[in-house]
Amino acid sequence: MGLVTRRSLIAIPPALLAQETTFRVDVRLVRMLATVRNERGEMAGSLGKEDFIVTDNGVEQEIALFEKSTAQPLSIAMLVDTSRSTEREKRYEIDSMKRFLKALIAAGNPQDAAALYSFNFEVTQQSGFTRKLSRLEAGLRRLKSEGATALYDAIYLASESLEEREGRRVMIVVSDGGDTISKLKFENALEALHKANAVLYSILVVPVAGDAGRNLRGENALTTLSQWTGGKIFFPAVGPALDSVFREILSDLRTQYLLGYYPRGVPPSKDRFHRVSLKVRKPGYTVSARNGYFSDSKG
């Protein structure tokens, strides 16, 4: 049996949630994963550094890092909602995740790895980062649906683990709705994702037809977290549609760009969140990338 780690948020110091207000010049490298499509919606993987323009709070920046990211190892944290409401569709989800993980390990960078987390009323690490498919599959077999949904706690804790990884960092959340019991908030989850330079893909499986009975607030939260980190949210049914979503995500990950810059000339501000824009100079291209980052601050 693989290692199962249960992590509690009780020990998180209160200062973690405090919002510092004094601005400090940020000299860290801001990394951005970008997915680019042409006007026909096709992946555009042949652009050069000179084709991109990035601004930080409206100030154009010099791109210091540029790579076509298939050369970078990929770390994926897979987060699976195991609250009681997911029981009905769990078998279909597990089968699709197995196929996705098998495809991930079979191709790409030989250092690509995945970790598996489950979340209901608590967050459980079913497997640390590994390339051993047997460990990941063992974790999937242990999943049991019960209790409420600690989505934000799960995103926060998985982001901490991703932050320690080299290369590209991606999180995939498979859920049927929103948060119901987390100790942390939406803002903490968003900041943790930005701090980890992680892209979030959300898969909302089988939303209820019509608004009645749906957690629209939760859906909106996942949509925002995904879009603001350069990812995407999907609303598939189970079966072939879910497999198609995982194939699209894998295609995105194999055709991404990695860019980075050191913030220069950005006027001081008490707002810790920097708005970042990444565009292609040529017309007809759309870019999916993070929309900002939280600067360091010091009391």
258-291 pLDDT per residue, tens: 999 999 999 988 889 999 999 999 999 999 999 9
Pick the most confident of 18-27, 101-110, 118-127, 229-238: 118-127
Look at residue 114 and tell me whether its pLDDT is greater than 50: yes
- Per mean pLDDT, which range of 83-92, 163-172, 190-199, 268-277 is the poorest? 83-92
CATH number of 74-254: 3.40.50.410
Give the confidence band of 23 by pLDDT, cuts at 50, 70, 90: very low
Query: Is the pLDDT higher at 193 or at 5?
Result: 193
Question: Per-residue pLDDT tens for 186-200?
Answer: 999 999 999 999 999
Output the furthest CA–CA distance in the chain (Å, rounded): 53
What mean pLDDT value characterizes the chain? 87
- Per mean pLDDT, which range of 10-19, 108-117, 141-150 is the poorest? 10-19
Taking each helix axis as running N to C, give the angle between helix 151-163 and helix 186-195, from 0 to 180 degrees, rounded to the nearest 10.
Answer: 20
Residue 130 three-state SS: strand
Six token digits for residue 175: 């859920």
* Residues 295 and 19 sit within 8 Å (Cβ to Cβ): no
Query: Is the pLDDT higher at 52 or at 107?
Result: 52
**Distances from the Cα of 170 to the Cαs of 132, 182, 202, in angstroms?**
18, 21, 11
Dihedral sign, Cα of residue 88, residue 153, residue 272, residue 295: negative
Taking each helix axis as running N to C, give the angle between helix 216-228 and helix 151-163, from 0 to 180 degrees, rounded to the nearest 10.
Answer: 20
pLDDT of amino acid 132 = 96
| Ranges of each domain in the chain | 22-69+256-294, 74-254
**Distances from the Cα of 186 to the Cαs of 151, 171, 181, 204, in angstroms?**
9, 16, 12, 17
Query: Is the pLDDT higher at 91 or at 245?
Result: 245
Give the confidence band of 18 by pLDDT, cuts at 50, 70, 90: very low
What does the pLDDT average to over 215-225?
87
3-state helix, strand, coil split of the chain in percent (to 5) is: 30, 30, 40
* Alpha helices in 38-145, H assignment, sequence order: 90-106, 133-141
Residue type, 214: R
Look at residue 151 and tell me whether its pLDDT is greater than 50: yes
